[in-house]
Structures are given as structure tokens and as C-alpha cells.
Structure 1
Amino acid sequence: MNSKVVSLHQSSPYSLFFARRYNGIGKYEFTESQLANNELLLERLKYMTEVVFPGASEKARATQQKMMDRFNDTASRSEFHEGTAVMALDPIKGNKLDPKYEGPYIVVRQDRNGAYVLKDATGTELHRKYAPSQLKVVLVEPKDPNAYVVRKILDHSEPDKEHKEWYYLVRWKGYGPEHDSWEPYSNFFETKCIRDYWNNAGHVNPHSTRSPVPSAPTSIE
């Protein structure tokens, strides 16, 4: 028997269905039953129909309204205004050691369904949209006039006696092959392009701490 009080209407399903209190589990073999007469049953039915059921229904509506108000209040706190700098949750990150968030991006607008349209450092809008729960506000430094956006990583060079860190041959967004340049790993503000490069090449990312890097060719096409 479902005799637990439901938080939605503060009554138990048993009492609402049978119009009486649940007596609980016990020994009743020596208990004498006192059956109610028709008049008492009709009176109880009238009381349930006119008082209990409407009261339970009103209580349920009030509880639901409180839940909706609480949800709407929480949702309103998650609004991001146009021009806000945010980091976006990466739903397909390669492994648990990869950064959970990508960015920073700038909020362009919110659509009628509540999702947000973002743009990158070049002003290009991202193809996908993000729910408020996938974004977080970040504080960013004033835009560096010497910062550029990576279009693609073309090649890499391992550390050696002359260079103590990894270098990558970069094709810059908005520029041709004549502007390709070798850049050290420390110059990259956002490293998703490097993770994609290693994933596409079929090698372990050397900047991940998961495991030692296997021997890899100096150049990967």
C-alpha cells in the first residue's frame, strides 16, 4: 500500500483513494470491524468530493507554482548579456584530461529557445548554439593586437638542443601559405587546434599527461 505522504499535495495516495487513514501493518485477527452505514459513507464521499479533493488539487498547484518560480529564478540568473565573454563547455572533448571548456567567445544573442549564439576572436559566429548550462562568464584581458586565429596546424617539430619545447607550423585564418609560421606551444592561447592535429594524425597528444608519447615522425601530413 502506498501510504507515504506525497510532497506535491501533502496527502497519501491510500487516504485519497479509500477516503480513510491507513491503519498500518499489524495483527488484526482479534479486532472487531465496525462497518459504516450508507448514510455515513455518503457523508464521507461528499466531504472528500467537496473538501479533500479540491484542497489536494489546490495544494498541488501551489507546490508546482513554487517549483516553477524557483526554476525561473535560477534560469534568469544564468542569462548572458550581449558582448559578455564566456567559456563554452566542449561536449566532445577527447579525454578527461583535456580542458572542459573552449574559448573565450563573445555572446552575440540569445534565440527564442534560450540557446546562445557565440562568435570567436575573428567575429565569426560559431555553427552550433549553447545552452546557458554550457557557458560560464570569464574575465578577459584587452584584445592583443598581435593575436591571430589559427586555421590549421600543418606540421610539428619535437624539442631538441636548440629548442626546448614543441613547435608547430601554423596556417593562419585569413592568410595564405606565404604567411605560415613556426610557433612554440607556449604561444597558443587556445590549444584545441593542437589536440585536433594529434587526433587526426593518430598519435598521442604530447601535451597530455595520460601516458608517454610514442615515437612519432618529425613531420606529419
Structure 2
Amino acid sequence: AGVEKAVSLPFNPLGNSNAEAAVKSAKGIIIKMLEGRAENWDLYLDVVFARLPNELKDYSQVKAVLPDQEIDVKTLKKKIKRIDKILVPAIREQIVKTKEADNAYFRKRHKILEKPFPIGSSVMIKNVDKNKKTDPNYEGPFSVYGYTKNGSYILQDKSNAFLSRDIPTSHIKLISEDGIPTEEKQNVYVVQSILNHSGEAPNHKYLVRWEGYDSSWDSWEPPSMFDGTEAIATYWARRNAGQPSSEGKKQKLPKTVNKRKVESRQEKSVRRKARIAAITSK
């Protein structure tokens, strides 16, 4: 009938969580069947032991005290039929509802999608390097280029450069399935460094050296022209290094910018193909 039997050691019934869960379920079912008549709870039990379940005694050698009256087979069959008709379907329905609710909560908590974000959609990614409350929670925007076999995402920035790492679904926030507008991808340049600033806060402008261009291309740009705040934060951290803050405390030292170059996916693919070709040619 789909009823699972759970047992535990007689001298320590509290040591088996399965048995305790079964007792809890049985108690809940009996309470529903009482319909407000709590004093009739024993009518729904075939055998009642006149001992407390939490006594630390070994009952393995104790025989159950059964009633002298013989069991009426017809009455027993009616009870079993009632269990199969009412209790078992109710338990099954409750189990299904609980599983569906747990599954929905798990998928929501872990941001599991029925369908992945479409190729070309515009997304933001979680700022894993955040170390201050004022740092942004998300970075971007980026566009979805593809997927890995593990379900992570391959992303590109506005300059169509690949991110050096794959991004899991839990770190992605969808902005638009239409992707980054074409006009935003045009005339996109990478900041090599900020050289100087002008004006008073909060109306600063920054002298920018662009990656791949010489000093003749340096230009003054307002903060609104930057896609993120990392370049500006790095500039101020390096400029104020070692100087006391307005509260008299020493400023935190900036992070190093001499980062190890990480190969892009294209570079890895070219190197792997060259290695395979060298092996096969031998």
C-alpha cells in the first residue's frame, strides 16, 4: 500500500530519526482523524504499550501485552481498507506537495533556471572582488557568448573581449534579452591608466591614457564615460597611498596592478590546436 515501516532500538527510540519522523507523521494523521475528540485517540491504535517510550530500559525481552479478545478479521479488513482509501492517498498527496515546495524553494534560492539566458542577452555579473560597502554589487554590462558543459556562461564585454573566467548562473543578473545596443559597442576603448584629475569633487574630470594608443590620444573624461569605477578607485588609492585620511587614520594601501596575464579563450584554443598538430605530425 506504499506504507514504509521504520524501526529503532527498543531501549533508545530517540536515537533513530526515521522512527521519530514516522511517529510524528502518525501523530499528525491521528490528530486529523480525531475531529476534536482528543480523548478518543486510543481508538485508532490497535496495540498500546503501557510503558513510557523514553525509559532507558532494554525492552527486547519484554513481550507485548495484547488484549485477551481475539481480533475480528472483518473489522481488521475494514480498518486496512480505510487506511488504503483515506490515509495512504492523503500521505502521498502531502509528500508530493512538500517535495514540490522544497524543489521550488531550492531552485529559487540557488537561481536555477528552466532555460539558460539566451545567447546575446545583456547581463550584469556579481562583483566578487567587493571589499567595501561602497563598492558596486554588480559589474557590467556583458553579453552572453556561449555556455560551458558545466552550465556556466562565457561572456564578452563591450569591446567583444572574452572574460578570463566562466561565470556561474548564481552570479548573473539578466538586464535584457535583446543584448547590448550596437551604438554602445561602437567607439569602445579600454582604459590603460588614469594620469591626473582636474576640478573639485564631485565634478572631477580624469586624464586617461588609452590602451593601445600613445600620449597624443590622452583625453579628459568625466566619470559618466567610464563603464565601471575600478579605474577611478585604483587612481585615487594609488594617489593617496600612505597619506592620512580626514579622520587621521592611515589610508589602506592600493592593490597591485601588476597582474599576471590570463590567456583568453582564443589564445588557449590556438595553443591547444598547435600542440595537437605537433603531436599528430610526429
Query: TM over 0.5, yes or no?
Result: yes
- Smaller-chain TM-score range? 0.5 to 0.7
Correspondence for 1:194 among 223, 228, 232: 232
When residues 103 and 44 of structure 1 are mapped into structure 2, their CA distance, relative to the original with a 3 A threshold, is same
| Residues 82, 109 of structure 1: 8 Å contact kept | yes
SS of equivalent residue, structure 1 residue 95: coil
Q: Are 1:157 and 2:189 an aligned pair?
A: no
| Residues 156, 166 of structure 1: 8 Å contact kept | no
Count of residue pairs the alignment pairs up: 188
Instruction: Tell me, in whole angstroms, the C-alpha distance in 2 between the residues paired with 1:213 and 1:166.
Output: 22
Instruction: Tell me, in whole angstroms, the C-alpha distance in 1 between the residues paired with 2:29 and 2:82.
Output: 7
Correspondence for 2:147 among 96, 110, 126: 110
Tell me the equivalent position of 2:188: 147
Residues 65-86 of structure 1 show CA distances to partners (whole Å, capped at 9, x for unaligned) of 47647959x8237x42111122
Greater helix proportion: 2
Bigger Rg over Cα: 2
- TM (normalized to structure 1)? 0.57
Instruction: Tell me, in whole angstroms, the C-alpha distance in 2 between the residues paired with 1:103 and 1:89.
Output: 9
| Residues 121, 149 of structure 1: 8 Å contact kept | no
Q: Letter of the aligned partner of 1:194 in structure 2?
A: I
Tell me the equivalent position of 2:91: 56
SS of equivalent residue, structure 1 residue 142: helix
SS of equivalent residue, structure 1 residue 21: helix
When residues 61 and 180 of structure 1 are mapped into structure 2, their CA distance, relative to the original with a 3 A threshold, is same
Shift in Å, 1:185: 2.4
Aligned counterparts, 1:49-128, within 5 A: 50=84, 52-53=87-88, 55-57=90-92, 59-61=94-96, 63-65=98-100, 68=103, 71=107, 75-76=113-114, 79-126=116-163, 127-128=165-166
When residues 13 and 172 of structure 1 are mapped into structure 2, their CA distance, relative to the original with a 3 A threshold, is farther
Aligned residues with identical type, % of pairs: 21
When residues 39 and 180 of structure 1 are mapped into structure 2, their CA distance, relative to the original with a 3 A threshold, is farther
- TM (normalized to structure 2)? 0.47
Tell me the equivalent position of 1:39: 71
Tell me the equivalent position of 1:20: 30
Shift in Å, 1:149: 1.8
Q: Letter of the aligned partner of 2:235 in structure 1?
A: Y
Correspondence for 2:172 among 111, 122, 134: 134
